[in-house]
Amino acid sequence: MRINKIRVSGFKSFCHPVNLQFKQNGITIIVGPNGCGKSNVVDAIRWVLGEQRVKNLRGSSMEEVIFAGSSFQKPSGMAEVTLTFSNPKGDTLDRFTDYTEIEISRRLYRSGESVYMINKTPVRLKDVRELFMDTGIGGTGYSIIEQGRVGEIVSAKPVERRTLIDDAAGIVKFRFKRETAEKRLDETTQNLLRVNDVLGALAEQEEGLREHVEKAEKYLEISNKSELLEKRHLSLSWHQAGVNEQKTQDLVSSHQQQQQDLQNEKSVVETEMESLKLEQTKREKTLGEQRENLFLKDQNIQNAENKRELENQNLQNVGEQLENFQTELEDQSQRLHDKKKEWSEVETKLSDINKSMVVMESELASIEDNRSEKNIALQKATEEFSTHQKRLLNLHTELTNQTNQKAFLEESLENLSERQNRLQDQEQLHKNQLNEVTLQVTDCEDRLENIVDHKNKLSVKLSELESHSKELNSRIIEKEKHLENLRYQNNTAQSRIESLQQIQSHYEGFKDSVKIFMQLMHDNPEKKRKFGVAGILADYISISSKELENLSQVMAEVLDWIVIERAKLLPQIELFCSENELGQLKFVALDRPASESNTTKISGVSLSNILKFERPLHEWGKKFFSRFYLLEEETNFWKEYENNWPNRPTEILSTSGIRISNDSISMGTVQSGSLGFLQRQQEISDTEKYTFELSEKIKKLELELDSLQKKYSSLKEEQEFNEEEYRKLEFSLLSGNKELEHHQLEERRMQQSVSQISQDSNNILKEINNSSFKESTAESQISSLGNERSELETKTEDLQEQINGLQSKLDSTAEKLLTLRVSLTEATEQQKNLMETNGRLQRDSSETSQRIAQLESAIAESNLKIKNSQKNILSIDQSFEGMLEERSKIKMILDEEILLHEQKNEQQTALIQKIQERQHLIDNTLTQSHQQSIKLTEFRIQREKFEEQLSEITEQKPEDILAEINIESADHSKMGQELRSLKARLNSMGAVNLAAPEEYEALQERINFLHTQSEDLQKAMEDLKATIKDINIESRRRFKEMFDQVNENFKSVFTTLFEGGEAQLLLTESEDLLSAGIEIMAQPPGKKLQNINLLSGGEKALTAISMLFAIFLVKPSPFCLLDEVDAPLDDVNVVRFNRLIKSLTQNAQFILITHNKKTMETGDILYGVTMEDPGISKTVSVEFQEAGRLIA
């Protein structure tokens, strides 16, 4: 694929449409002055290929790419660029292989609307990027290189450089696929977590519902058996009642005749009885008066005894109270004594602490003064040390001058000897050369020794950095694992919340009528608004799990009540429910507040204070639940129930599940699905709090991790720098050893030369001696100066030791100061604690004194009460004897009257006995007759009741049912007992959900569906993991192959551009090849091997270009656009650069933007960009025959 042409309209400075044709396999040159818009051609190509980063387009917003207008031209309404590629080989996506040309267009309007087109068909940005994926075209590709991009390659981090190799290796699409797969894997994991959460909730629901199903099936079985048995039992009861009715009728007639005969005998005896009764009436009146007098006397005596007993009881109570007061007075007195003793001890400790603090403060001031004196001494020694250092520097300068003077004398001797005798000159020359070689050998050895020493130190430092780096890395890994764990917990909690919210949104646990109604409201928001439906009561109530268990009987009834805004909407809602055939529903109207309880306050807690209500239910809930009271203790519960029965609140509840309402008492907790709604609401609230805490921990950990990573990056950079220094030292050591061998060889050769001509040097000994004398003088001065320098160095070392000693003492003093300050702080804290204890003891002593005064007052009051009670008892004893004498007289008269009355009573009793006997016989007869009449009525009612009960459960007649059984052999009692047992079993089963089997079947279907989903998700996760693994394997293989080829080409291209030298690409150390970075090592001719950052600007540019062309040789991109990359190159390097590009044009297409004339000469087509009008770019196409003239 090659660029055929480009059409630019309204893009940046290209106001009018501009067309540029490009050479297929050749070089197209674009030239023009600065600011004319040449680089806008590059931006246009980038933009049409899908560039989204405005920074790469040299702007601040995407709208800036549209022509903004000039002094003579209005702004454009849109920008459009069309890029046409020739496609002769069909080397593109499968769906474009049949096209000989592919046209890419992008259009942007000022409204922000953007359009991409391929062959004039609108497409997505993703389609455009897929078209050029792994071709080297793109933001990280190598087909478009500006001058700044060359610098980026040089300064980029190793990991950032590898993106070029990734593009060339064709693993960008694999990275995209891997990221997509990892994203899908994460989504699948989250979906699996949500499905598992829903399955967990449904499993709990299934377990509860399974019990309901078993209960319903058992209930139906017992119910059917009970119904059959009840029909037969009722029929037998109806038959037996009929038989008993006939027998009873015969007995009633017989009893009525016997009753009439007994009534006549009774009338005779009653006449005799009336006369005797009249006489006894008068006597009873007299007895009544006497008994009343005796009763009054007995009452007075009893009152006196009660009063005396009460006074004795009061006396005993006051005595016991007095003993208690005296005992407590002794305890309080002892406690006051103990407090005062403890107070005294605290005062002593406080005094000791204060004294200790004064001593420590004094010692602290003394040490501070000592420290100041040592600081002054240290400053004085430091100044003296500085003076000696300056003198040493001066001595070094004088010593150097003398040494130079000696060298000058040697040179003079050499010149003199050369003039005197050629042979002598030759001998002296060889000697000087030998001295120089010897100095070079020594210097080289010193340098090598310094290099080895520096290398060893650097090696130790690298080991320390490596150790610190590993430690930091392990901490980072540990933090990342912790962070990953926290994120996993957070994601799990979030999934749990979503699952619970999904369950809540379906109102799981509520009866079907509520579910269907709320679903209809959810599906029809307009209807929900019209009816004013605000939700259900459970949406606005908050309660803990423990309280919910205690209040289950009340909450299970009201949680599914539907809340509406206005009661007048109920007729419309009722019509809606009828139309949709909904079951029973209960509603709460917010404009009809609940009545508030006005009952007497009891020792319980109102539910209005236990429950929490959200608006708009707050006022209604407070009033409605004020009628319910919760009593925690069982004993108090029944006591309150008995004491407050007439004025009790509407409902009383206990923590054990007892509930008392107006007309019933119920016991036990209630199991209802609606209670689970509140439990899930509470779990959602608790989980949201938990996720908030996790989020805070994650933020904190991310900050810590970011700090550690920054430290780690800084440490790594320092480590890389030192490693680079270490490699340089190794290279220098290698070069130095070779240099030393060369100098040593030269030294041996010169020694042989000097030895051969030494015998011819005797005739110049005189001059040599003279020069030697002068040299000796210089040496003497050098020695003197050296001695003085040695003495100064000794003094300087002594001063250094003195300074070190003073510094050590200062450090020791600082440690003492720190210790004292810590001790002083601890003493201050202890002083504060003792003062607080002192204040507490004062308060306790004051309270104890007040209690002692109260007890003394109470004891005096009790003594006074004892004296008063003793006086009252004495007074009662004196009046008691008189009352006993008067009672005795009245009793004697009453006994006489009673004796006479009893005699008459005996006569009356005999008559009464006769009457009673007759009456008893009459009553028995009447009772028997009445009982038989009642039985007769009961049997008739029973027959009617049995017949009515039978009609309620079946349409069969009793006679028909009796025909089905053997009446003679049927055991009616046993049948009744069995029926009662069955009904008792049914009642003991409580509330039974008969729709449970259908609900269970639906739940099973949903669980099976979710299990299938879970298995599919797990399989999808395994497939995605396998896909990611395959992608990583293929990516590593491609990267390794591409890196090896590019590295070989890089060595070759580098040598070509630099005409020598060495270079190579190195992979940084990494556990995974896909995360390894790329280092560039370069050694231009005549220089040591070094990092690219140490090269000059031109060398950096050539090295970066070498890497780009090395990639290009392995995998050419459809085109290569170079924007002024030759700017930093000199003429020689430009020629090499042009020669290399020219050699690549056989299989590649190049577009060059340049100011260099030599580069212009290499082009096949040349375009000039100008601005005839300010702010508007135009292009000029020049025939290449005229190019030379224009350049000249």
Identify the residue with better confidence: 962 or 189. Answer: 189
Average pLDDT over residues 741-751: 74
Average pLDDT over residues 1097-1109: 83
pLDDT at 635 over 50: no
pLDDT of residue 106: 92
Nearest to 20 by CA among 948, 1051, 1121, 1103: 1121
Average pLDDT over residues 40-68: 86
pLDDT of residue 117: 92
pLDDT in tens, 391-419: 776 776 677 767 766 766 666 666 656 65
pLDDT at 1184 over 90: no
Q: 463 CB contacts (<8 Å, ≥6 apart)?
A: none
Say which range, 723-727, 786-790, 966-970, has the weakest mean pLDDT.
Answer: 966-970
| Per-residue pLDDT band at 79 (split at 50, 70, 90) | very high
* Burial category of 517 from C-beta neighbours within 10 Å (exposed 0-12, middle 13-18, buried 19 and up): buried
1-132+1118-1192 and 510-671 agree in CATH topology: no
Burial 477-492, CB ≥16 within 10 A → b, else e: eebeeebeebeeebbb
Name the 3-class secondary structure at 902.
helix
pLDDT in tens, 945-999: 777 777 777 777 777 777 777 777 777 777 777 777 777 777 777 666 677 777 7
pLDDT in tens, 244-289: 777 777 777 777 777 777 777 777 777 777 777 777 777 777 777 7
| Per-residue pLDDT band at 609 (split at 50, 70, 90) | low
In the chain, pLDDT over 90 holds for what percent of residues?
1
DSSP for 181-213?
HHHHHHHHHHHHHHHHHHHHHHHHHHHHHHHHH
Phi/psi of residue 11, each to 5°? -100, 120
Average pLDDT over residues 207-220: 76
Long-range contacts of 419-427 (CB under 8 A, 24+ apart): 420/764, 420/767, 421/763, 421/764, 423/757, 423/760, 423/761, 424/760, 424/761, 424/763, 424/764, 426/757, 427/754, 427/757, 427/758, 427/760, 427/761
Q: Mean pLDDT highest for which of 79-83, 492-496, 503-507, 895-899?
A: 79-83
List the structure tokens of 569.
């909407």
pLDDT of residue 674: 52
- Are 116 and 124 in contact by the 8 Å Cβ rule? The answer is yes
pLDDT at 313 over 70: yes
pLDDT in tens, 146-186: 766 776 777 778 777 777 777 777 777 777 777 888 888 88
Three-class secondary structure assignment of 686-723: HHHHHHHHHHHHHHHHHHHHHHHHHHHHHHHHHHHHHH
The H-or-E segment that residue 41 falls in is helix 38-48
pLDDT at 636 over 60: no
pLDDT of residue 8: 92
Identify the residue with better confidence: 610 or 732. Answer: 732
Identify the residue with better confidence: 5 or 294. Answer: 5
pLDDT at 32 over 80: yes
pLDDT at 4 over 90: no
Identify the residue with better confidence: 900 or 754. Answer: 900
pLDDT in tens, 572-595: 777 788 777 777 777 877 777 665
pLDDT of residue 682: 67
pLDDT at 82 over 90: yes
pLDDT of residue 623: 67
In the chain, pLDDT over 70 holds for what percent of residues?
81
Q: Report the alpha-carbon distance of residue 942 to residue 233 in Å, rounded.
A: 13
pLDDT of residue 663: 54
DSSP for 378-415?
HHHHHHHHHHHHHHHHHHHHHHHHHHHHHHHHHHHHHH
pLDDT in tens, 1126-1161: 888 888 888 888 888 888 877 778 888 998 888 888
pLDDT in tens, 815-847: 777 677 777 777 777 777 777 777 777 777 777
List the structure tokens of 97.
């292989």
Q: Report the alpha-carbon distance of residue 173 to residue 170 in Å, rounded.
A: 7
List the structure tokens of 967.
């009446």
Q: 536 CB contacts (<8 Å, ≥6 apart)?
A: 507, 510, 514, 518, 559, 560, 561, 562, 563
The listed CATH number (3.50.50.60, 3.40.50.2020, 3.30.70.1620, 3.40.50.1820) that belongs to domain 510-671? 3.30.70.1620
- Are 757 and 430 in contact by the 8 Å Cβ rule? The answer is yes
pLDDT of residue 24: 74
Average pLDDT over residues 1047-1066: 85
Q: Report the alpha-carbon distance of residue 109 to residue 106 in Å, rounded.
A: 10
Q: Report the alpha-carbon distance of residue 177 to residue 166 in Å, rounded.
A: 14
- Are 1039 and 165 in contact by the 8 Å Cβ rule? The answer is yes
User: Domain residues of the chain, as ranges?
Assistant: 1-132+1118-1192, 510-671
pLDDT at 1187 over 50: no
Q: 389 CB contacts (<8 Å, ≥6 apart)?
A: 796
Phi/psi of residue 543, each to 5°? -160, 145
Q: Report the alpha-carbon distance of residue 654 to residue 638 in Å, rounded.
A: 9
Q: Report the alpha-carbon distance of residue 1092 to residue 153 in Å, rounded.
A: 10
Identify the residue with better confidence: 420 or 945. Answer: 945
Average pLDDT over residues 1113-1136: 83
pLDDT in tens, 475-521: 888 887 788 778 777 777 776 677 666 666 666 666 677 777 877 87
Architecture category of domain 1-132+1118-1192 in CATH: 3-Layer(aba) Sandwich (3.40)
Q: 771 CB contacts (<8 Å, ≥6 apart)?
A: 409, 410, 412, 413, 416
Count the neighbouring beta carbons within 10 Å of the beta carbon of residue 21.
14
